[in-house]
Structures are given as C-alpha cells and as structure tokens.
Amino acid sequence: MEGKEIKNQTIKGLDDLIEIVKRKTGIPKDLVNKIIKAIQDEGNEITLNTRDYSIFKKLEGNRAVQEDRVKSIINSINEVGYVKVPIVVNEKMEVIDGQGRLEAAERLGLSIHYIIIPGIGIDECRAMNINQKSWKLTDYIESYANLGEESFILIQKIRNKYEDSGFKLGLFFTALMKKNAAPSKSIQDGTLIITKEDYKKAIERLDFVYDIYCKMDRSILKGRNQELMQVLIYCYDYKEIDKNRLVKLITDKNKLNTLRGWANISQCFQSLEEFYNKGISKKVYFDSYYKKEKQI
C-alpha cells in the first residue's frame, strides 16, 4: 500500500509530525496521535522527506557505512536516476535501514525519503540485514563490540592487533576456540562466549604462527598458507612437538618446497607430520594428536 507523503517539511520524529498535522487541521494532538497509530497498525507507511540530513542519528551498535557501498549507490543514481526508496528510522530518528542511501543522498544534495517505525532498534536492524544477506560476520562482531559485549570486544582486539597480517577470521577462531571456522550463528545472534583466558591463550598461539608467517616464503604454498597456520596453532599446544625444529623447517625455503600438498586440514596434518619426521628416528604423530583432540 502506498504511503502518505508530506512534502517540504523538516520533521524530526513523530512528535513533529503530530504537531504539523494538528496545526494544519485543527485536530487535537491526542486524536492525531491515535489516527497516526491507527494508520500504522493497519500496515500503512507514512513516508516523509527532507533535505535536513542533520535530523538523522546513527543507531548505536550499527555497522559503519562502507565507502564502496556509498559510491556504488551514487554511481547508480548518476546512471539510472534517483529511485526514492525510503530509509527506515525509529521514533528517535535513528537509522535502522538505509545508512548508505542517506549518505549518498546527502552528498548529492537530494531529498531523502524516510519511514518512521516506533520501537524498533538494533535487533530489527540486524534482522533486516540477515534477510538481505548484506552483513558480514565482521560487521556483527563490530556491532556487538560497540554495544560493550565483552566477548566481542576481545575478538575485535585480536582483529585489530593482527589487522595487517592478512589472517582470515577463521584463523582467529582456531586460536580462540580450536575451531576450523568462525561460529556463524553464535556470532550473528550475539551468544558467543569468549573469556579473557581464551583471549590470552589465543594471543600466544597467534604470536607463534605470525612469527613463522612473517619469516617463511609464502609464495611457495600460494593459497594454502592460512590452512598451514591453522594447523600450526594446534601444533603449538602439542608438547611432543619441538617448536624450534618446526619453525626452522618451515622458514627454510628449500625445505618448505618439499612439503607435500593437501586438500583439507586433516591432510595438512599428515603432510606436516611427514615433513617434520624426515631424518629423525623418534617420530612425532601430529595427525594422531589432532584426531584425539577432535575425537575423530
């Protein structure tokens, strides 16, 4: 159903809208409020527009506006024209959906259309973006960290510490939780628990592999470096493995060239075990330790 549009007004929320309707019609404020609520309860959208961009606020916990997203919207407007898709705000004028469209409209000096839906907040913001599949796991981590969730603050600290490493998110969760991939659901719904002890241990593991990562010739393994780093995180905890020997082998370019390829984590353990055990009588069984830990 099409929304009702009130043009050329700077409306800073429902109270302003009620006041304007009261002034223009003479209807008492409490009755206007009931009418607007009835319109919304029936599923109608009251669409407003303005060029006063200052009335809008950033929703606490929402992700940052991505510059490439804003540029993409601006390019689309320049090429196709301005399709006036409303942004969604709550009664506090916090933007729930459409930060990118708002930023693009402001840069181009265009009026922005918006819908006020009272009572919605960060949960609805996340839900909208889950349905649109536009939020990445890192956006959820940043959002919960900004809201003061301790577990996500610790994850964000790790991401910031190794920001220039090129490490993927899954590697951080191998270090934090001994998982081979990031736990998507508990990140999205905010139920993930990371303790300070988890964080401290993860930093130890990551410092170990980061040192190797910086010293080794990464061009040899090409796209398999991240998997090797994951395996090395597990190896850090296995006391039977001589870490000094392991580091020397991997950081030796000639020796690294002899490391057999693999298709998955388990095969990587097998390749590394074979690589490590060459020339020594006392064998160390990497793959067995991993399977025992994972109860495979």
Residues 113 and 176 in one domain: no
- Residue 3 pLDDT > 60: no
Confidence of residue 8 (pLDDT cuts 50, 70, 90): very low
Both 179 and 196 in a single domain?
yes
Average pLDDT, the chain: 85
Q: Which residues, at least 6 apart from 122, have a Cβ–Cβ distance to it below 8 Å?
A: 59, 60, 61, 62, 143, 147
Per-residue confidence (pLDDT) for residue 104, from 0 to 100: 92
- 142: in domain: no
Residues 198 and 225 in one domain: no
Host H or E run for residue 71: helix 67-80
The continuous run of DSSP H or E covering 270 comes out as helix 265-277
pLDDT of residue 80: 75
**101/274 Cα distance (integer angstroms):** 55
* Domain end (from 189, 215, 241): 215
Same domain, 119 and 198: no
Same domain, 209 and 230: no
How many domains would you assign to the chain?
A: 3
Q: What is the pLDDT of residue 234?
A: 96
Query: Does the structure show a pLDDT above 50 at 1?
Result: no
CATH assignment at residue 70? 3.90.1530.10
User: Residues 20-65: pLDDT tens digits?
Assistant: 666 656 666 666 566 666 655 655 556 788 888 988 998 888 888 8
DSSP code of 264? S
112 and 10 belong to one structural domain: yes
Outline where 162-264 has alpha helix (H).
169-177, 184-188, 196-215, 225-236, 243-250, 253-256
Residue 268 forms part of a structural domain: yes
Question: Do both 202 and 235 map to the same domain?
Answer: no
pLDDT beyond 90 at 230: yes
Of the given ranges (56-60, 128-132, 176-180, 198-202), which has the lowest mean pLDDT?
A: 128-132
SS3 95: strand
Q: Are residues 123 and 78 in the same domain?
A: yes
**Is residue 134 scored above 70 in pLDDT?**
no
Identify the domain containing residue 158 by its residue range.
Answer: 147-215
130 has a pLDDT exceeding 80: no
How far CA 135 is from CA of 128, 217, 261, in Å, comes to 10, 34, 34
Q: Is residue 109 part of a domain?
A: yes
Last residue of a domain, one of 101, 132, 163: 132
* Domain end call among 215, 245, 272: 215
Lowest mean pLDDT among 18-22, 184-188, 200-204: 18-22
Does 288 lie in the same domain as 241?
yes
Considering the domain architecture, whether residues 251 and 211 belong to the same structural domain is answered as: no
| 147 — pLDDT class (breaks 50, 70, 90) | confident
Check whether residue 121 and residue 211 sit in a common domain: no
